[in-house]
Structure 1
Amino acid sequence: MMLSMNEIHLKIRAEYRQIQEEYENAKKNAEELMYASFPRIEEIDNEISALAIESAKRVLEEEITPEEAAEGMQEKARVLREEKNQIIKTNNIEEFKISYKCENCSDTGFSKDGKKCGCYIKKIQSMLTLPGEKGENAILKKCNFENFNLDYYSKEIDAEIGISPRDIMRAVLANCKKFSNGFSGENSGNILLCGPSGLGKTHIAASIANEVMAKGYLVIYKSSYKLFQFLEDYKFGRVDRNIYSVVYDAIYDADLLVVDDFGTEFITSYTQSVLFDLLSTRIASDKSTVISTNLTLDNILDIYQERVMSRLKNEFNVLRFAGEDVRALKNK
């Protein structure tokens, strides 16, 4: 059974606590081994701790000021640390170092500014799965701005538009990086990625999702087909609302919703209605949405109601992709 959002947070924080406990135990074991081999190091560590306790006691008893305590302790501690470092250097002792899975937060789940780390957000996202999905999306694991290769786009100037596909895509990439870097959770705008199949829209959409997640914002990334199938199933009771209400709410409330391959969903009167409702609700709440589609704006107007088209034209920054099918070029 799917957990509530509160239960998800509790589970994730428990995981981080367990990781920290494992690190502490490993550090303690390494320390005990070092102390057993070099007792003087243990004596030094105990003396440094005793210095801090004694200084704090004298400040509380108003024998000395905090400034005097700090000054007196620092010099004594410095001498002791130098002795310890000399023992370590002389005996080639390898000090215990933790190999963190996430260097950004040291596997605590929170960065130095107190915000949720990207690894924390990924854990949330991996639990907000639709029926049939399992864990983190494979596309998100492999796509980022760094491995988006502009070399697949021609440098030749297109005579009709006076610019090369590579320059168009360089501008698209710059716009998407700017959106991701400046993302603040509110009033960050919306993006519509348009263009024929195989030009890298999914790659860019996933890259945006990863960058925004890394900043500690909740991102929901779903294919359009699965997203609207789920919303329709949820509406008509074909999935258990008690289980999936947390996913449904996150689709509307997430800081960023990324809808990939828009236009592949089965179009019904309900799809038309829920799409407009979803866009309108997120826009009214200043929640950002990124949509990728093989459709042109004219195609969208042919398929969807004019009010949907109006939302996309007026509320989204439309970025048009250009070039040849990158997938085909890679397979040559």
Structure 2
Amino acid sequence: MQNKYVMEILKEYERLSEEAKSAQLQRQKEIYHKIPRIKEIDNEISRIGYDIASSIFKGIDVESYIKERRRKITDLKMEKAELLTSFRYPVDYMEVKYICEKCKDTGYVKNEKCSCFKQKLIDKFYQQSNLRDVLKKENFDMFDISLYSSEKYKDELVSPRKNMEEILISCINFSQNFNAISDNLFFYGNSGLGKTFLSNCIAKELLDKGKVVIYQTSSNLIQILRESRFDENISRERIEEINTCDLLIIDDLGTEPNTPYSQSELFNIINTRILQGKKMLISTNFSLEDLMTIYPERITSRILGHFTMFKFYGDDIRIKNSINKRKPRI
């Protein structure tokens, strides 16, 4: 599946590059027709460029000659810019306009995938999972803190609402200062308290900034890793993307098969990203005590030692939200 996406993206880059060059030629024809002197200038610059390249064979003071010729090119470019602006055209009107200036719409920078290529690839995964539609509804603007009770909850020191206000601030700070902080986030608590919602909020903020974000439930993640390792038709590059993406979100930790293989793969992913300084967000419906029972010490020690813990508690807000939606409007 991934190879199919790569080929689709490469074809898209080829189309974008051709369109950019075609549009540039049309603008060039337009300018040459309206301002003939600019065509003369471009031709003269080309001739001088050829003269510079062949100057070594002319038996002259090459350094002085090249310096004088380059000065002439500068004068011509200044004249060209003045002509364009006098006719109310931008100075760069005749240049090729690329969507991505870093890779010039090729997808690669110095034989490495450009960030725009990586993001297009991740976007393909989002389209497949329909998560992009989810992010239209699950983002910070749609987060409703009023769904959380302001009353004391069991033995907790602060109310669910106060607790969520603090968590929300931390999530926004994580998104806004992503490049400057080294935190990993760990959400735990009962279902229906907003863990996945806030994970999606963070994902959207970072995707909008062009960060490479991969979101998977823990069960899907283990399945992907199993297929990548044992199916030779699936590219191992998929594992590399999981290891190196800007943010890896692992939702519903504990829903994956609890086998030695799954635990080994989970440890490898978490440990590799910690060693590489790559950020993670993990959520689970289990308590910390349950996790200590379910997972071996080498996994729990990585989580407890390298993640900032956020406990979610209170009444199921999905039920409250559903009730609110059914209330008649006055």
TM-score for both structures, normalised by structure 1: 0.69
C-alpha distance in 2 between matches for 1:76 and 1:231: 59
Q: Following the alignment from structure 2 to structure 1, what is the Cα–Cα distance between the partners of residues 270 and 168?
A: 24
Q: Say whether residues 1:222 and 2:216 are aligned partners.
A: yes
Give the structure 2 partner of residue 17 of structure 1: 14
RMSD: 4.2
Aligned equivalent of 1:50? 40
Q: Describe the SS at the equivalent of 2:234.
A: helix
Return the offset for 1:18. Answer: 0.4
1:177 aligns with 2:172: yes
CA distance in 1, matches of 2:28, 2:197: 46
Deviation at 1:173, TM superposition (A): 2.2
Residues 242 and 205 of structure 1: CA distance in aligned 2, closer, same or farther (over 3 Å): same
Number of the residue aligned with 2:265: 274
Q: CA deviation at 1:205?
A: 1.6
Deviation at 1:103, TM superposition (A): 10
Report if the CA contact (8 A) 1:121-1:213 is conserved.
Answer: no
Within a 5 Å distance, the mapping from 1:191-230 to structure 2 comes to: 191-230=185-224
In structure 1, C-alpha distance between the alignment counterparts of 2:283 and 2:45, rounded to whole Å: 62
- CA distance in 1 between partners of 2:78 and 2:24 (Å): 30
Do the aligned partners of residues 67 and 163 (structure 1) sit closer, same or farther apart at CA in structure 2, a change above 3 Å counting?
A: same
Give 1:165 shift: 2.7
CA contact (8 A) 2:228 2:234 kept: no
Equivalenced residue count is 294
Q: Cα 1:53–1:178, aligned 2, differ >3 Å: closer, same or farther? A: farther
Question: Aligned to 2:3, what secondary structure does the other structure show?
Answer: coil
Displacement of 1:315 in angstroms is 0.7
- Match of 2:264, as an amino acid? S
The answer on 1:149 being equivalent to 2:182 is no
Secondary structure, counterpart of 2:258 in structure 1: coil
Give the aligned partner of residue 90 of structure 1: none
Cα distance in 1, alignment partners of residues 2 and 284 from structure 2: 30
1:1-332 aligned within 5 A: 2-3=2-3, 8=6, 12-22=9-19, 25=22, 43-51=33-41, 53-54=43-44, 62=68, 68-69=75-76, 72-79=79-86, 81-82=87-88, 108=105, 116=114, 120-126=117-123, 135-143=127-135, 145-154=139-148, 156-158=150-152, 160-184=155-179, 188-232=182-226, 237=230, 240-332=231-323
Separation in 1 of the partners of 2:81 and 2:27?
A: 26
* Cα distance in 1, alignment partners of residues 303 and 120 from structure 2: 31
Correspondence for 2:56 = none
Change in Cα spacing, 1:65 to 1:105, as seen in structure 2 (3 Å) is closer
Shift of 1:272: 2.5
Amino acid at match of 2:33: E
Q: Quote the Cα distance in structure 2 between the aligned partners of 1:281 and 1:214.
A: 26
Q: Assess, with a 3 A threshold, how the Cα gap between structure 1 residues 277 and 70 changes in structure 2: closer, same or farther.
A: closer
**More displaced 10-residue stretch of structure 1: 284-293 or 322-331:** 322-331
- The answer to whether the 8 A contact 2:249-2:281 is kept is yes
The aligned amino acid for 1:3 is N
Q: Distance in 1 between matches of 2:35 and 2:250?
A: 55
Tell me if structure 1 keeps the 8 A contact 2:139–2:204.
no
Question: Any unmatched runs of 5+ in structure 1?
Answer: 36-40, 86-99
8 Å contact 2:14–2:106 — kept in the other structure? no
Q: Is the Cα contact below 8 Å between 2:227 and 2:234 reproduced in 1?
A: no
Opposite residue 125 of structure 1, the aligned amino acid is I
SS in 2 for 1:243: coil
- Taking only the aligned residue pairs, the percentage that are identical comes to 28
Task: Call closer, same or farther: CA 1:58–1:320 in 2, change over 3 Å.
Answer: same
**Distance in 2 between residues matched to 1:217 and 1:109, nearest whole Å:** 19
| Deviates most, 215-224 or 263-272 | 215-224
SS at match of 1:324: coil
